[in-house]
Amino acid sequence: MTGKALIVVDVQNDFCEGGALAVTGGATVATDVNDLFGQGYAAIVATRDHHVDPGPHFSDHPDFVDTWPPHCRAGTPGAQFHPALETAPLQEVFSKGEYSAAYSGFEGVSARGESLAGWLRRHGIDAVDVVGIATDHCVRATALDAATEGFRTRVLLPFTAGVSPVTVEAALAELDAAGVELVGQVGDRD
């Protein structure tokens, strides 16, 4: 049995407007992703940054490449899913980055310690659609790892928000080169 899963990446308060690492359009993504929940996916899962002590990932003088201001600290409002995102359809949540930097949802684990790849395979998934925040960071990393793990992978660009046009363009080129199908345009939800 095969099926397609929706992976909702890091739609958290700290990545939406007003958060510690706000991405323009994040709150819109939080609302719009809900429209995908009734689209016949065999599974719907989410990833989240869930930092306890990620070491040098946090910096008082971040370079915004390898180091970042503190964000998505476990147990804080910033780590919670954005209130506009409906969480009832989520079958599992994979937390990443507790004690180190983590960008890909495939670095995360469920509350029971199961990996995303293992969970998807156990549920008969062979293809994934990836959406969320940020196009040029965690969405990119999650989609690349999905393809590396052997899943047919698409990124639904209208349901993503990116940090900057330059890094989004580079991420899209990297995804395309890795065989990830890019559907639509970033920010085009009409």
pLDDT tens digits in sequence order for the chain, 190 residues long: 479 999 999 999 999 999 988 999 999 999 999 999 989 999 999 999 998 888 888 888 887 878 878 889 899 999 999 999 999 999 999 999 888 888 899 999 999 999 999 999 999 999 999 999 999 999 999 999 999 999 999 999 999 999 999 999 999 999 999 999 999 877 665 5
d(CA 126, CA 1): 9
Q: What confidence score (pLDDT) does residue 188 get?
A: 62
User: Which amino acid type is present at position 1?
Assistant: M
Phi, psi (rounded to 5 degrees) for 102: -150, 130
Tell me, yes or no, if 16 is annotated catalytic: no
The answer for residues whose C-beta is within 8 angstroms of residue 148's C-beta and 6 or more apart is 178
Helix (H/G/I), strand (E/B), else coil: 93: strand
Q: Which of 16, 129, 136, 138 is catalytic?
A: 138
Q: How many other C-beta atoms can be found within 10 angstroms of the C-beta atom of residue 39? A: 10
Contact 180, 153 (CB under 8 A): yes
Q: Which of 10, 32, 49, 145 is catalytic?
A: 10
The owner of tokens 């949540």 is 93
pTM to 2 decimals? 0.93
Tell me, yes or no, if 53 is annotated catalytic: no
Listed residue (132, 182, 186) closest to 158, CA to CA: 186
Q: What confidence score (pLDDT) does residue 62 get?
A: 80
Tell me, yes or no, if 138 is annotated catalytic: yes
The owner of tokens 């937390």 is 95
Phi, psi (rounded to 5 degrees) for 79: -85, -15
User: Which amino acid type is present at position 166?
Assistant: V
Listed residue (162, 141, 49) closest to 99, CA to CA: 49
Q: Which of 16, 96, 129, 145 is catalytic?
A: 96
